[in-house]
Structure formats: structure tokens, C-alpha cells
């Protein structure tokens, strides 16, 4: 077991090899001399480097690396068995299954069932949405940790591998599991809810991320609604009242519905319920939002306003904070205590509106690193953050933007619109970053075309004509930023693009993590 930042142990409920084999419907082999009925397994990992005393190693055959090649190496690290899809020549008990990823899910399901059978309270909170899942997860985990031992995934562990690995950190001490649930296709979230069925489900937004995969926004809404259908009987739904696709999910909710939003009219016609709204939203010069959180009873009665300042940046994060606060309030946390945690929670998962100072080759600039991934909603939010940075002082603003993927047949137009938006918010320079992949490069070209057209039309709010460059490698983007920032006084640079664009690697080059 390991110990998390709240001081409690993390690691699955202790299991015997027999229990594991039965849970995953596998065949136990190479267990001679081992007490198969002793509770010797305490954790589960799929990365051999993380294996330790009492670990179950899940050997997954990936696109580039096959975990079966590392079964022998985990023996010296103290692993007690491995889940494999074929027997490996290694001195370690092995449980042979047809599919190790499916077996991982089955083991996580068994772990959750054992935790639920305990006498102490335990709740699973599932979070989904086209944008904001990981930030909301990070905020909610910090809030719930004030109420009891809380498990939440690292980064964006939200798929058929990441979610069960997180669920296998739950043990008898755990009070809350915050389960982020993502989807690239219909049925994916439904499957995740069979592994960790939520007591409470949060739906943030239905956007156009993965539109190319799903085919329509309606299909995306269908996929996100699977988390509501996957709730335990009588489970609680926490829904974005400002998004009509999300609000419609109230009609399939199995129990209590709670709402959050800024413009809350969209919920009209759907289930009544307590609402948490934000009013009087402003930002300081470095992008920290200020607002009032106001609870509204189901009968429309307004409660007392609580002033809130977020330690993280970006006006768009007010919605994520509202969602997290709504859940915390449901579990009994007081609004003032929530505001205190949100004012202190300044660290979230990497490459999400992270601000730092970069100094290289006698050039210094401020970096807003929002490069984890991108879709039209999140890129607009990132550009809004760039525009808000020291708005009264007018620093030189450089938007380094990569392609957005899986947007369907409308992708060229969406990229041109984003280039135009970069000009409209007052960027002084726009660098569209393509790559060796022809498709990525073409999309970056469309973004640059949209910015050039807007620049020629004079839509910049400060009356200047921004420079627009289309580059084809992150090295070229690096050099261009250095050229633009050299000798220009205060400069602020935004990095925003899909993971495939490589901009997060550029961020790591500029601000290496130690």
C-alpha cells in the first residue's frame, strides 16, 4: 500500500490469489508453494515500474509495449501475481485470462463490491462531460478530502484501463471515490459504470469534442447520458442547467436532481431541484475568477451568497467549481469551507492553465500552458484567459495554437473560426502549429487562414494587425516565439492544442518538471 496526501492508505482491499482468480474468471498457475488462500495482494498496477510488495501486475499488450515482456521483472519488486493472457516463463504465480483489460475491470468491480459490503459509508461520484472533467475532478477531490479519505485518478485516467486502476486503490478506509468517465464511443461510459456504479453523477457539458467519432452532438449527449443511466437505484444527478442537452438528462434521472449554472433558464420544464449559481463574475489581472456562489432552493428561494475566489485561473473554471461545490454541499460541506478550499487549490493536473515564467537565451516571457488537449470550447476558454492577462497593461499576446482533432466534417470551418477568434480577442501574434502528419498540418493551415482573413478585415479590438504564422514543427514554433518575445517588453504566450500537436512537449521543454 501507499499513503496519499491526506495521510490515508491507498491500495485495494486485501485479496487472496483464489479470490482474484474467481473474480476475473481466470486459471491460476505457477502457484506451487504459495498459500493461495492468504490475503497477500494489496495493490494493482499495469506499469511494471510501479510494482511493489503485494502488487498484482496486469500485463497489457499495448500498441508499442507488451506488458507480458515485464512479468519476470516484477518478481524482484515484490509482486505476488500477474494477470496474463498467456502463461509466461517467470517464477511468479499467474492468472491466465482471455483478455487482461477485461480482467482488470472485473477485478476493480470485485474490489468495489467488497468495499460496499463494509459497514462504513462509501460513495462513488462519477464525472463526465466534453470539457472540464479533470479540473472538476481535481477540485472535487480536494473538497471531499476535507470530509473523509478520498481516491481520485491521476491526470485523466478515465478509460477502461485508467478507471479500474483508480478503483483498485479503494480500501476499507476510503470514504469517496471520484471517478472520471470519458467516452470515445457509445457504450464506453455504460461499461465504466458497471465497474464503478456511481451514487452521484455529474454531467458538465455536451460539446463537439469527438464529434468526428460520434457523428452528431445528439450522439455525444447520448453517450454522456449513460452515466445517469448507470447510477445506482435512486442515485443523485448533478446537471449543468445552462446546457440544454445536459438539462434534458433530468428526464431519465433515477432519483434526486441538483443543478449548477450561471444562466439557469435551460432547466425549465425539467425536474425541480436545488441549484447552485454564480453571480457577479469578474477576473483579476492574472486570470483568477471572483464571484458569488448562491444556493437556490427547489421552490426558487435564494439563499445567502458566499464570495468565492478561485486559486486556479480561467473564467470557464467557475462552472467546474460550481459543479464540485454542489457535490460537496450535498455531502454536508458548508459554503464557507468550500470557498476556503477553492481559494487554496492552486494545483491541478498538468498543462491546464498553468502559469510560469520562461527564461531562455536572454528572452523572458509569461507562459500560460493549457496544452493538455483542445476542442473548440476549451480553446476559446484558453484564448479568453490570454485576453484577460493584465488586460489594463496590454502586454504582447502570442497565441500558439495546434490542431483540434475528431471534429468531423466541419473541422476546417471550426479551425478557421478559431483563428478568427484569436484575432477578435486581441492576440498580437498567432502561430498555428502543424506537424509531419498531413491532416494535422492542414488543420493548422485552416486555423492560420481564418486568422489572416480576420486580420485583414480589421476585427482586432486594439486596431492593430496581428502577425500570423503557420509552422510545421514545435521547433519552428519555439524559434518563432523566441523571435517575437525578444526585446518586446512584457510578453504572454498561450499554448493550446490537441495532444497530437506536441505543444505539451514544448511546454515541458520551456518549463522542465523536476
Which residues line the annotated binding site?
Answer: 129-135
Instruction: Identify whether the C-beta of residue 167 lies closer than 8 Å to the C-beta of residue 112.
Output: yes
Grid cell digits, residue 158: 478515465
CA dihedral defined by 277, 282, 284, 287, rounded to 10 degrees? 60
What is 176-198 written as a DSSP string? EEEEE---SSTTHHHHHHHHS--
- The order of strands in the sheet holding 429-433 is 354-360, 363-369, 491-496, 396-402, 429-433, 467-471
Grid cell digits, residue 131: 470539457
Instruction: Identify whether the C-beta of residue 422 lies closer than 8 Å to the C-beta of residue 400.
Output: no
Grid cell digits, residue 474: 514545435
Please give the Cα distance from 332 to 57 (Å, whole number). 38
Which residue shows C-alpha cell 501486475? 57
CB atoms near residue 157 (< 10 Å)? 19
As annotated, the binding site for ATP includes: 129-135
Nearest to 290 by CA among 350, 363, 216, 342: 342
Nearest to 312 by CA among 157, 141, 136, 510: 136
Return the exposure string of 242-263: e unless at least 16 CB atoms fall within 10 Å of the residue's CB, then b: bbebbbbbbeebbebbbbbbbe
Query: CA 341 → CA 144, 258, 344, 374, 499, distances in Å?
Result: 10, 21, 5, 27, 30
Please give the Cα distance from 268 to 396 (Å, whole number). 44
Cα radius of gyration rounded to whole Å, the chain: 24
Please give the Cα distance from 207 to 379 (Å, whole number). 12
Query: Any alpha helices (H) in 39-168, and if so which ranges?
Result: 71-75, 100-116, 133-144, 162-167
Please give the Cα distance from 267 to 246 (Å, whole number). 9
User: Any idea what DSSP says for residue 14?
Assistant: P
CA torsion sign for 189, 193, 195, 200 is positive
What is 196-216 written as a DSSP string? S--SEEEE----STTHHHHSS
Amino acid at each position: 500500500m501507499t499513503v496519499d496526501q491526506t495521510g490515508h492508505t491507498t491500495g485495494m482491499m486485501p485479496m487472496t490469489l483464489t479470490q482474484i482468480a474467481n473474480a476475473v474468471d481466470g486459471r491460476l498457475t505457477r502457484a506451487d508453494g504459495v498459500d493461495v488462500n492468504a490475503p497477500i495482494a494489496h495493490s494493482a498496477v499495469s506499469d511494471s515500474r510501479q510494482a511493489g510488495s503485494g502488487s498484482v501486475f496486469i500485463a497489457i499488450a499495448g500498441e508499442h509495449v507488451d506488458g507480458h515482456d515485464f512479468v519476470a521483472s516484477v518478481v524482484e519488486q515484490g509482486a505476488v501475481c500477474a494477470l496474463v493472457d498467456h502463461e509466461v516463463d517467470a517464477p511468479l504465480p499467474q492468472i491466465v485470462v482471455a483478455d487482461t483489460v477485461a480482467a482488470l475491470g472485473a477485478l476493480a468491480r470485485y474490489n468495489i463490491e467488497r468495499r460496499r459490503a463494509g459497514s462504513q459509508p462509501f460513495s462513488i461520484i462519477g464525472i463526465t462531460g466534453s470539457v472540464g472533467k479533470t479540473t472538476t475532478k481535481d477540485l472535487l477531490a480536494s473538497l471531499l478530502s476535507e470530509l473523509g479519505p478520498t481516491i481520485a485518478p491521476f491526470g485523466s485516467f478515465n478509460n477502461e484501463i485508467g478507471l479500474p486502476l483508480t478503483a483498485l486503490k479503494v480500501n476499507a478506509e476510503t470514504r469517496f471515490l471520484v471517478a472520471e468517465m470519458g467516452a470515445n464511443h457509445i457504450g464506453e461510459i455504460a461499461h465504466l459504470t458497471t465497474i464503478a456504479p456511481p451514487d452521484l453523477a455529474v454531467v458538465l457539458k455536451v460539446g463537439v469534442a469527438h464529434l468526428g467519432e460520434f457523428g452528431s452532438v445528439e450522439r455525444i449527449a447520448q453517450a454522456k447520458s449513460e452515466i445517469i443511466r448507470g447510477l445506482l437505484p435512486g442515485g443523485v444527478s448533478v446537471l449543468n442547467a445552462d446546457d440544454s442537452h445536459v438539462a434534458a438528462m433530468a428526464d431519465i434521472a433515477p432519483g434526486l436532481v441538483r443543478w449548477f449554472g450561471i444562466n439557469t433558464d435551460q432547466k425549465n420544464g425539467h425536474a425541480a431541484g436545488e441549484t447552485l449559481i454564480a453571480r457577479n463574475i469578474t477576473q483579476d489581472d492574472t486570470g483568477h475568477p471572483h464571484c458569488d456562489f448562491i444556493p437556490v432552493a427547489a421552490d426558487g428561494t435564494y439563499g445567502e451568497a458566499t464570495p468565492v475566489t478561485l486559486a486556479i485561473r480561467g473564467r470557464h473554471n467557475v462552472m467546474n467549481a460550481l459543479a464540485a461545490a454542489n457535490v460537496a454541499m450535498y455531502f454536508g460541506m458548508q459554503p464557507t469551507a468550500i470557498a476556503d478550499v477553492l481559494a487554496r487549490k492552486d494545483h491541478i493536473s498538468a498543462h491546464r492553465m498553468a502559469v510560469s515564467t520562461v527564461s531562455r537565451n536572454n528572452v523572458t516571457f509569461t507562459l500560460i500552458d493549457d496544452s493538455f488537449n483542445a476542442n473548440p470550447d476549451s480553446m476559446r476558454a484558453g484564448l479568453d484567459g490570454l485576453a484577460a492577462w493584465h488586460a489594463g497593461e496590454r502586454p504582447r499576446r502570442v497565441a500558439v495554437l495546434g490542431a483540434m482533432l475528431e471534429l468531423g466534417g466541419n473541422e476546417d470551418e471550426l479551425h478557421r473560426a478559431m483563428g478568427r477568434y484569436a484575432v477578435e480577442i486581441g492576440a498580437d501574434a498567432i502561430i498555428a502549429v502543424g506537424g509531419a502528419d498531413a491532416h494535422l498540418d492542414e488543420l493548422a493551415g485552416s486555423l492560420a487562414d481564418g486568422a489572416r482573413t480576420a486580420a485583414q478585415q480589421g476585427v482586432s479590438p486594439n486596431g492593430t494587425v496581428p502577425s500570423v504564422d503557420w509552422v510545421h514543427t514545435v521547433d519552428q514554433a519555439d524559434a518563432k516565439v523566441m523571435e517575437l518575445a525578444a526585446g518586446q517588453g512584457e510578453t504572454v504566450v498561450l499554448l493550446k492544442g490537441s495532444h497530437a500537436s506536441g505543444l505539451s512537449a514544448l511546454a515541458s521543454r520551456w518549463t522542465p518538471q523536476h
